[in-house]
Amino acid sequence: MRQRPLPTFPAPPSASTQPASISRGEDNGPLPPVIMQAKSRWVPVRWAELPGFEDDALFEAWNAWLKSCERPGATFAPLCADARRLSIASSDEQRAWMVSRLQPYRVESLQGVTEGLLTSYFEPLLKASRYSGNGYEVPLYKAPAGLGSRKPWYSRQEIDTLPEARDALRGREIAYLSDPIDVLVLHIQGSGRLSIAEPNGQQRVVRVAFAGTNDQPYRSVNQWLLSQGVTKINPWPDATKAWAAQNPQRVQQLLWSNPRYVFFREEPLSDLDAAFGPKGAQGVPLTPGRSIAVDPGSMPYGTPVWLASRGMAGKLQKLVFAQDTGSAIVGAVRADYFAGTGPEAGEFAAKVNQSLRLWVLWPK
């Protein structure tokens, strides 16, 4: 994907322009020392440095905090009783509690770089069938037996062409989709929902969650298209589908340009589950608009984070939680924003490729 120019941010407000609710009280004492992580350093700052902190509807983020408290690390477990109690509090009460109990730290690279990259991901919702036929011919597979004993496993091209790879996957089909690009979208996002036609004619929605990969390298199909001279690759995946419709004889070549292959497991989807996304690397369900994927070498899972970003997708200044990771999410100031489920979330996620600043909110 072609890089867009990264925007710059205004300087943090000076002490004389700090909001009154932050500049008085608990935000006046001496700052603690810098904290070093494997891939980042955290520099302590005043709350007034966080853009938009006074304006965020914090109660909208509290479900993500409660989800983190289902599997908290040792650092945040002592705060969970208060977090649960404050779930019915106002944003102002939640904000006051955060200022009293947490210290913000600006996240920087080990070299002192404060700006990074924000991208976004989502949970696709796609039509599927239990059996092949009637236009549904592209399978989603459960992980094959013995997947971990051979690394790397067969590539995407080998899975499509080698009899021994096909034999290993026979009987492992979860469902069939009609469009190979939609299957590729599921492989890239790592999970999704299927509106699936059962053999008895019933239609129901299930979740297919990430269950492993073939341990092959990920390659961007957009980069492959650019290398072939294609200039219009966005919006993804619509532009790619349009190219595939005009070049049906090259679709397999497009797909095989990405050797990585993802396997899934099927999960039931209750009404409560449907309000959240799939489970992230922390082991808790993701909250649309309030969960991010991070590099765990930069910050631990479950950490509350203040995020500031602006670009084509608009301005984002909000409380989020580090609850997931991804193979492309590497570095100190790097995050992938979980946009939610379905086509609208997908359209938003496709726009997000913009500058980012992060602050971890760590217990005092």
Segments of the chain with pLDDT less than 50: 1-21, 23-25
Residue where a domain terminates, one of 222, 243, 273: 273
* Structural domain count of the chain: 2
Copy the structure tokens of residue 243: 């190219």
Cα separation, 175 vs 207, whole angstroms: 11
1/234 Cα distance (integer angstroms): 9
Report the distance separating Cα 173 and Cα 171, nearest Å: 6
> In terms of domains, do 56 and 101 share one?
yes
| Buried b / exposed e along 303-331 (16+ C-beta atoms within 10 A) | bbbbbbbbbebeebbbbbbbbbbbeebeb
Are 191 and 79 found together in one domain? Answer: no
- Are 138 and 263 found together in one domain? yes
Question: 137 is written with which tokens?
Answer: 């011919």
- Is 307 within a domain? yes
Q: Give the distance, in angstroms, between the CA of residue 183 and the centroid of all CA atoms in the same chain.
A: 18
288 and 192 in one domain? no
Mark whether 219 and 339 lie in a shared domain. Answer: no
Residue 15: the pLDDT is 35
Coil, strand or helix at 172: coil
How large is the C-alpha radius of gyration of the chain?
22
Domain end point (choices 245, 273, 301): 273
Q: Residue 165: what pLDDT?
A: 97
SS3 167: helix
- Are residues 148 and 165 located together in one domain of the fold? yes
Q: Is residue 22 part of a domain?
A: no
62, 321 contact by CB (below 8 A): no
Give the domain-ending residue among 255, 273, 291: 273
Written as one letter, the residue type at 156 is R
Q: Which two tokens stand for residue 103?
A: 């210290």
Read off the CATH number of the domain in which 357 is found. Answer: 2.40.40.10
Query: Within this chain, do residues 41 and 111 fall inside the same structural domain, yes or no?
Result: yes
Tens of pLDDT, residues 284-338: 999 999 999 999 999 999 999 999 999 999 999 999 999 999 988 999 999 999 9
The H-assigned helical ranges of the chain are: 20-23, 62-68, 80-85, 91-101, 156-161, 163-169, 180-189, 221-227, 238-246, 251-256, 271-274, 343-351
| Amino acid 25: pLDDT | 44
What is the model's pLDDT at position 5?
34
Q: Residue 262 pairs with which residues in a beta bridge?
A: 213
- 159 and 283 in one domain? no
Give 311-352 as a DSSP string.
Answer: ETTEEEEEEEEEEE--TT--SSSEEEEEEEESHHHHHHHHH-
Same domain, 99 and 158: no
Q: Which residues form the domain of 341?
A: 27-120+278-363
For residue 361, give Cα distances in angstroms to 43, 67, 175, 257, 321. 11, 17, 42, 41, 10
- pLDDT for the residue numbered 12: 38
**What integer pLDDT is reported at residue 26 of this predicted model?**
56
Same domain for 33 and 162? no
CATH number assigned to the domain comprising residue 231: 2.40.240.50
- Position 1 scores a pLDDT of 30
Q: Residue 127: beta bridge partners?
A: 195
Both structure tokens of 332: 């100190």
For residue 152, is the peptide bond before it cis, meaning its omega torsion is within 30 degrees of 0?
Answer: yes
